[in-house]
Structure 1
Amino acid sequence: MTKTVPPAASAKLSAPQRALLKLDLQRDIDLALHLPLRYEDETRIVRLADVRDGEVAQIEATVQACEVKLGPRRQLLVTVDDGSDTCTLRFFTFYPSHQKALAPGARVLVRGEVRGGFMGRTMLHPQFRAATGELPTALTPIYPTTAALPQNYLRRAVLAGLARAELRETLPPGQSPVAWSLRQALEFLHHPTPDVSVEALADRSHPAWQRLKAEELLAQQLSQLTAQRERGRLRAPVLQPRTDGPALHAALLQALPFALTGAQQRVVAEITADLARALPMHRLLQGDVGSGKTVVAALAAAVCMDAGWQCALMAPTEILAEQHFRKLVGWLDPLLAAHGKRIAWLAGGQKKKERDTMLALIASGEAALVVGTHAVIQDKVQFQRLGLAVIDEQHRFGVAQRLALRGKLAAEGQEPHLLMMSATPIPRTLAMSYYADLDVSTIDELPPGRTPVLTRVVHDARRDEVIERIRGQIEEGRQVYWVCPLIEESEALDLANATATHAALADVLPGVLVGLLHSRMAPAEKKAVMSLFTDGLMGLLVSTTVIEVGVDVPNASLMVIEHAERFGLSQLHQLRGRVGRGAAASACVLLFSTGDAPRLGQVARERLKAMVETNDGFEIARRDLEIRGPGEFLGARQSGAALLRFADLSTDAELLAWARALAPVMLDRYPELAERHVHRWLGGKAEFLKA
Structure 2
Amino acid sequence: MGLEDVFSLVMHLPIRYIDETIVTPIRDIQMGVLSQIEAEVVRAEIVYKPKKMLIVQVKDASSSLQLRFLHFYPSQMKMFEAGSRIRVLGEARHNLFAFEMIHPQCKPIKEGDVLPEALTPIYSLVAGVGQKTVKDAIHKLFIHFDLKNYLKDSFLPTIYEKLRLPNLYESLKSIHHPKDFKEVTSHETFTSKAYQRIIFDEFLAQQLSLRSNYLIRRALSAMPLKAKNKLTTIFMDKLEFELTEAQKKVVQEIKNDLEKNYPMQRLLQGDVGSGKTVVATIAALQVIENGSQVAFMAPTEILAEQHYRKLTGWLNPLNIKVAWLTGSQSKKDREISLNMTESGEANIVVGTHALFQEHVIFNKLGLSIIDEQHRFGVEQRLALRKKGQLDKAIEPHQLMMSATPIPRTLSMSYFADLDVSIIDELPKGREAIVTKLFSEDRRNEILKRVHEVCHQGAQVYWVCPLIEESEALQLQTAEETYLNMQCHFKDLKVGLVHGRMKSSEKQKVMSDFVKGNIQLLVATTVIEVGVDVPNATLMVIENAERMGLSQLHQLRGRVGRGSLKSTCILLFQKKLSELARQRLKVIFENTDGFIIAQEDLNIRGPGEFLGIRQSGAPMLRIANLNRDFKLLEEAKTIADQLLEDYPEASHLHLKRWLNHANERVKV
Please say whether Structure 1 and Structure 2 have the same fold, judged by a TM-score greater than 0.5.
Answer: yes
The question of 1:394 aligning with 2:373 is answered yes
Alignment CA distance shift 1:115-1:586 (3 Å): farther
Counterparts of 1:193-272 in structure 2 under 5 Å? Answer: 193=179, 195-242=181-228, 247-272=230-255
Residues 600, 609 of structure 2: 8 Å contact kept = no
The secondary structure found in structure 1 opposite 2:225 is: coil
Alignment CA distance shift 1:508-1:417 (3 Å): closer
The secondary structure found in structure 1 opposite 2:221 is: coil
Separation in structure 2 between the aligned mates of residue 606 and residue 613 of structure 1, nearest angstrom: 11
Render the CA deviation track for 1:131-163: whole Å, top value 9, x for unaligned: 4349875434343x77x7866599479849978
The question of 1:423 aligning with 2:403 is answered yes
1:543 is aligned to: 524
Between stretches 194-203 and 623-632, larger displacement belongs to: 623-632
Separation in structure 2 between the aligned mates of residue 514 and residue 82 of structure 1, nearest angstrom: 79
The question of 1:312 aligning with 2:295 is answered yes
Residue identity opposite 1:302 in structure 2: L
The secondary structure found in structure 2 opposite 1:170 is: coil
Residues 365, 385 of structure 1: 8 Å contact kept = yes
Separation in structure 2 between the aligned mates of residue 157 and residue 506 of structure 1, nearest angstrom: 67
Between stretches 349-358 and 662-671, larger displacement belongs to: 349-358
Render the CA deviation track for 1:591-613: whole Å, top value 9, x for unaligned: 44563xxx753x65454333233
Render the CA deviation track for 1:215-237: whole Å, top value 9, x for unaligned: 11221222233223223322211
2:549 is aligned to: 569
Pairwise CA distance, 1:57: 6.3
Pairwise CA distance, 1:622: 4.1
Alignment CA distance shift 1:666-1:132 (3 Å): same
The secondary structure found in structure 2 opposite 1:571 is: helix
Q: 2:153 aligns with which of 169, 174, 186?
A: 169
The question of 1:365 aligning with 2:344 is answered yes
Residue identity opposite 1:175 in structure 2: I
The secondary structure found in structure 1 opposite 2:223 is: coil
Residue identity opposite 1:385 in structure 2: K
Pairwise CA distance, 1:65: 5.8
Between stretches 637-646 and 51-60, larger displacement belongs to: 51-60
The question of 1:560 aligning with 2:540 is answered yes
Pairwise CA distance, 1:183: 3.1
Residues 399, 636 of structure 1: 8 Å contact kept = no
Pairwise CA distance, 1:255: 3.2
Q: 1:611 aligns with which of 584, 587, 592?
A: 587
Residue identity opposite 2:400 in structure 1: M
2:559 is aligned to: 579
Counterparts of 1:242-391 in structure 2 under 5 Å? Answer: 242=228, 247-336=230-319, 342-391=321-370
The secondary structure found in structure 2 opposite 1:683 is: coil
Residue identity opposite 2:316 in structure 1: D
Separation in structure 1 between the aligned mates of residue 78 and residue 14 of structure 2, nearest angstrom: 35
Q: 2:620 aligns with which of 628, 631, 644?
A: 644
Residues 506, 514 of structure 1: 8 Å contact kept = no
Render the CA deviation track for 1:341-361: whole Å, top value 9, x for unaligned: x32223344455544443332
Residues 393, 422 of structure 1: 8 Å contact kept = yes
TM-score when normalising by structure 1 = 0.78
Residue identity opposite 1:283 in structure 2: R
The secondary structure found in structure 1 opposite 2:551 is: helix
The question of 1:141 aligning with 2:122 is answered yes
Residues 170, 194 of structure 2: 8 Å contact kept = yes
Separation in structure 1 between the aligned mates of residue 19 and residue 506 of structure 2, nearest angstrom: 56
Pairwise CA distance, 1:615: 1.5
The question of 1:444 aligning with 2:427 is answered no
Pairwise CA distance, 1:85: 7.7
Render the CA deviation track for 1:104-156: whole Å, top value 9, x for unaligned: 99699887777778899899xx765554349875434343x77x786659947
Residues 460, 592 of structure 1: 8 Å contact kept = yes
Residues 502, 542 of structure 1: 8 Å contact kept = no
Counterparts of 1:46-85 in structure 2 under 5 Å? Answer: 67=48
Counterparts of 1:38-49 in structure 2 under 5 Å? Answer: 38-39=16-17
Q: Percent identity?
A: 44
Q: Which runs of 5+ in 2 are unaligned?
A: none
Residues 178, 184 of structure 2: 8 Å contact kept = no
The secondary structure found in structure 2 opposite 1:685 is: coil
Render the CA deviation track for 1:469-494: whole Å, top value 9, x for unaligned: 4454455552223242324379xxxx
Residues 499, 516 of structure 1: 8 Å contact kept = no
The secondary structure found in structure 1 opposite 2:108 is: coil
Q: Which runs of 5+ in 1 are unaligned?
A: 1-15, 70-74, 92-96, 491-495
Pairwise CA distance, 1:588: 2.0
Residue identity opposite 2:421 in structure 1: S
Alignment CA distance shift 1:235-1:41 (3 Å): same
Residue identity opposite 1:685 in structure 2: A
Separation in structure 1 between the aligned mates of residue 502 and residue 77 of structure 2, nearest angstrom: 61
Separation in structure 1 between the aligned mates of residue 487 and residue 36 of structure 2, nearest angstrom: 64
Separation in structure 2 between the aligned mates of residue 303 and residue 187 of structure 1, nearest angstrom: 58
The secondary structure found in structure 1 opposite 2:420 is: strand
Alignment CA distance shift 1:195-1:263 (3 Å): closer
Residue identity opposite 2:353 in structure 1: H
Render the CA deviation track for 1:470-527: whole Å, top value 9, x for unaligned: 454455552223242324379xxxxx96744753674476255776666677767765
1:29 is aligned to: 7
Separation in structure 2 between the aligned mates of residue 604 and residue 395 of structure 1, nearest angstrom: 23
Residue identity opposite 1:174 in structure 2: T
The question of 1:620 aligning with 2:596 is answered yes
Alignment CA distance shift 1:503-1:488 (3 Å): farther
Separation in structure 2 between the aligned mates of residue 250 and residue 675 of structure 1, nearest angstrom: 47
Pairwise CA distance, 1:548: 2.6
Residue identity opposite 1:316 in structure 2: P
Q: 1:677 aligns with which of 653, 657, 664?
A: 653
1:510 is aligned to: 487
Residues 482, 496 of structure 2: 8 Å contact kept = no
Separation in structure 2 between the aligned mates of residue 508 and residue 76 of structure 1, nearest angstrom: 65
Residues 532, 538 of structure 1: 8 Å contact kept = no
Counterparts of 1:122-141 in structure 2 under 5 Å? Answer: 131-133=107-109, 138-141=119-122
Pairwise CA distance, 1:635: 4.6
Separation in structure 1 between the aligned mates of residue 284 and residue 465 of structure 2, nearest angstrom: 36
Between stretches 103-112 and 500-509, larger displacement belongs to: 103-112
